[in-house]
C-alpha cells in the first residue's frame, strides 16, 4: 500500500509533463507542420555530435518544405539521410525536406535524421529547443526530450 502511495506522484508528474509538452500546439494556431514523437539521442561522453528524430505531419493540403533547422546550444544543424553504399552505410546532407500534402515524413534511426553538430550538452532528461524553418516563412518551435540509447 505504502509503495503505491509513493509511486503515484511520479506518474502524475509524467502526465503533467506530457500535458505541458503538448500545450504549445493547443495554445497556438495550428502550424502547417506538426511535430510528433520527437526526441534527441543523448550525447555519448567525449562526442559532440548526435541526432534528433521525429515524425513531421503536413497539416495542410499543400506541399510543405523544411528549409533549415536550428537548435539551442548546437553549433550547426543539418538534414541528413543514410545511404547504403558498397563501402557500407554513410550519411549525406540534403538541402531540404519536402512533405507532400497531408502526408507524414519520418526522421528515424537508419533513415533521415536531423544531425546535431557541435552539441554543448544533451543528457537524458534535458529538453532541447528545436526550430524548423518552413519555406512558407513559418518557424515551428518544439522542445524535444533527450533520450538514452
Ligand atoms: Cu548524420
With respect to residue 102, please indicate whether it lies within any of the assigned structural domains: yes
Find the angle CA(22)-CA(28)-CA(34) to the nearest 5 degrees: 60
CATH number at residue 108: 2.60.40.1890
Residue 24 has a pLDDT of 57
Instruction: For residue 52, give every residue at least 6 positions away whose Cβ sits within 8 Å of its Cβ, in sequence order, or none.
Output: 38, 39, 40, 41, 71, 107, 113, 114, 116, 128, 130, 144
With respect to residue 134, please indicate whether it lies within any of the assigned structural domains: yes
Centroid of ligand 1 to alpha carbon of 70 (angstroms): 15
Centroid of ligand 1 to alpha carbon of 38 (angstroms): 16
With respect to residue 12, please indicate whether it lies within any of the assigned structural domains: no
CA distance 111 to 36: 16
With respect to residue 79, please indicate whether it lies within any of the assigned structural domains: yes
With respect to residue 11, please indicate whether it lies within any of the assigned structural domains: no
Residue 26 has a pLDDT of 54
Domain count within the chain: 1
With respect to residue 25, please indicate whether it lies within any of the assigned structural domains: no
Candidates 80, 66, 63; CA nearest to 135 is: 66
The mean per-residue pLDDT over the stretch 125-143 comes to 97
Residue 87 has a pLDDT of 87
- Domain span at residue 84 reads 31-147
Centroid of ligand 1 to alpha carbon of 51 (angstroms): 7
With respect to residue 14, please indicate whether it lies within any of the assigned structural domains: no
With respect to residue 10, please indicate whether it lies within any of the assigned structural domains: no
pLDDT-derived band at 54 (thresholds 50, 70, 90) equals very high
Centroid of ligand 1 to alpha carbon of 100 (angstroms): 23
Inter-residue contact 116 to 52 (CB < 8 Å): yes
Residue 5 has a pLDDT of 52
CA distance 144 to 109: 16
Centroid of ligand 1 to alpha carbon of 18 (angstroms): 28
Centroid of ligand 1 to alpha carbon of 136 (angstroms): 25
Residue 74 has a pLDDT of 98
Centroid of ligand 1 to alpha carbon of 63 (angstroms): 24
Amino acid at each position: 500500500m505504502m509503495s503505491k502511495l509513493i509511486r503515484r506522484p511520479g506518474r502524475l508528474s509524467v502526465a503533467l509533463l506530457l500535458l505541458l509538452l503538448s500545450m504549445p500546439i493547443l495554445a497556438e494556431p495550428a502550424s502547417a507542420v506538426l511535430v510528433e514523437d520527437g526526441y534527441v539521442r543523448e550525447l555519448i561522453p567525449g562526442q559532440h555530435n548526435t541526432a534528433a528524430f521525429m515524425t513531421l505531419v503536413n497539416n495542410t493540403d499543400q506541399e510543405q518544405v523544411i528549409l533549415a533547422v536550428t537548435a539551442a546550444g548546437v553549433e550547426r544543424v543539418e538534414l541528413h539521410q543514410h545511404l547504403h553504399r558498397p563501402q557500407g552505410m554513410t550519411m549525406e546532407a540534403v538541402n531540404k525536406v519536402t512533405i507532400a500534402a497531408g502526408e507524414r515524413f519520418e526522421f528515424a534511426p537508419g533513415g533521415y535524421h536531423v544531425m546535431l553538430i557541435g552539441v554543448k550538452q544533451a543528457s537524458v532528461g534535458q529538453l532541447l529547443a528545436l526550430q524548423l524553418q518552413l519555406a512558407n516563412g513559418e518557424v515551428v518551435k518544439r522542445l524535444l526530450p533527450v533520450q538514452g540509447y
